[in-house]
Amino acid sequence: MTAARTPGHGPLTGVRVVELAGIGPGPFAAMLLADLGADVVRVDRPGGPGLALDPAHDVTNRNKRSVVVDLKAPDGPARVLDLAERADVLIEGYRPGVAERLGVGPGHCHARNPRLVYGRMTGWGQDGPLAPRAGHDVAYIALTGALGLIGDPDRPPAVPANLLGDFAGGSLYLVVGVLAALHHAREHGTGQVVDAAIVDGTAHLSALLHGMLAAGAWQDRRRANLLDGGCPYYGTYETADGRHLAVGALEPQFYADFLDVLGLDGFADAHADPARWEELRAAVAERLRSRTRDEWTAAFEGTDACVAPVLTLREAPHHPHLAARGTFTDHDGLTQPAPAPRFSATPTTVRTGPARPGADTEAVARDWDVPGLPAPSDATEPRTDRSPLLRSPHGKAPQ
């Protein structure tokens, strides 16, 4: 294995990113860039971002530095433009038109730095009938058809936290777009705007399913298909202790292992016979309810039955496989997912804990050679007496 050239910093070492503070997918995207080694400076608002969470526990702000700038103050936009002039990337999550009204839109920034990659994170996108409207993850994934895929057919669709829209369809697509535009800027010397809309990214995630739908291999309803719980050997089951197992025994050889561990006879041919799926589902459910989750986990250990325990957030870091890989890490007593993915030559790590609003003003001013950054004051202390929705990066952003 090649020795690391920049131990603990990652492949984006040397890349400068300005993040205009928000909550949700924008900060997560900036965290990912910071995890990969970028020097991310978060521009916080006086009074904090509006998220009712102690900044010391906001993991999405790890590996970053923070300054506080009041964009509505007379000199606020100029301070952000000073940073943008020295940056490779800027990320903002306001409603369309807000950054322009504040004086920090793409035109303002590119006038100072034509090579800048300007990343825009919204739910609905920069144009279209819904572009100016408020929204949140559940509404975005609902419109794309993704939410309608999840859950039982006789109950409302199940909400997958905000993982599918905000972070998968939003943050990850913004990062892909930013990295592609950064490559273009370095090859051609010109920056551009990256319009990352959660509706676009979430729709893109369903590409395979749209192909299956067109081919007649997917029914446009819940729990009627191979991968949505409609298949009895791909889904979740309750165990004797009220916990659950996840079963993914799709291929015939894995299905055979699954039946063998369960001790179920007479169902070898049911794998390929949808007419027997309900009978098979009932038999599997009854059998799995006969033991606890952990007893079944032990029984399936070492097999290729593709069965795993459904763990809670607190349990997951202690699973032997995840512990062996270091999938989770502890930093200053805070358990959190470790940076991903992994690199052989430029490994990543959690270098610093969550940035405190305004705590890094002096260091950023020195390192980026930005004179005139305002010093932090008592006005920068975060408020926790308001709804976390008040300043959503793709909902109720500053007007």
Catalytic residues: 136, 166
Residues forming beta bridges with residue 147, ordered by sequence position: none
Phi, psi of 284 (to 5 degrees): -65, -45
Instruction: Work out whether the CA dihedral 141, 144, 150, 154 comes out positive or negative.
Output: positive
* 243: helix, strand or coil: coil
Rg (CA), the chain: 24
Q: CA nearest 163: which of 278, 24, 265?
A: 24
Estimate the share of the chain in helix, then strand, then coil, as percent rounded to the nearest 5.
Answer: 40, 15, 50
Structure tokens at 397: 């952003």
Cα 49 from Cα 9, distance rounded (Å): 27
The helix or strand, by DSSP H or E, that contains position 111, with its residue range, turns out to be: helix 106-112
Instruction: Work out whether the CA dihedral 284, 286, 290, 291 comes out positive or negative.
Output: positive
The count of other CB atoms within 10 Å of the CB of residue 226 is 14
Q: CA nearest 125: which of 160, 173, 61?
A: 173
Cα 380 from Cα 398, distance rounded (Å): 17
Cα 380 from Cα 375, distance rounded (Å): 10
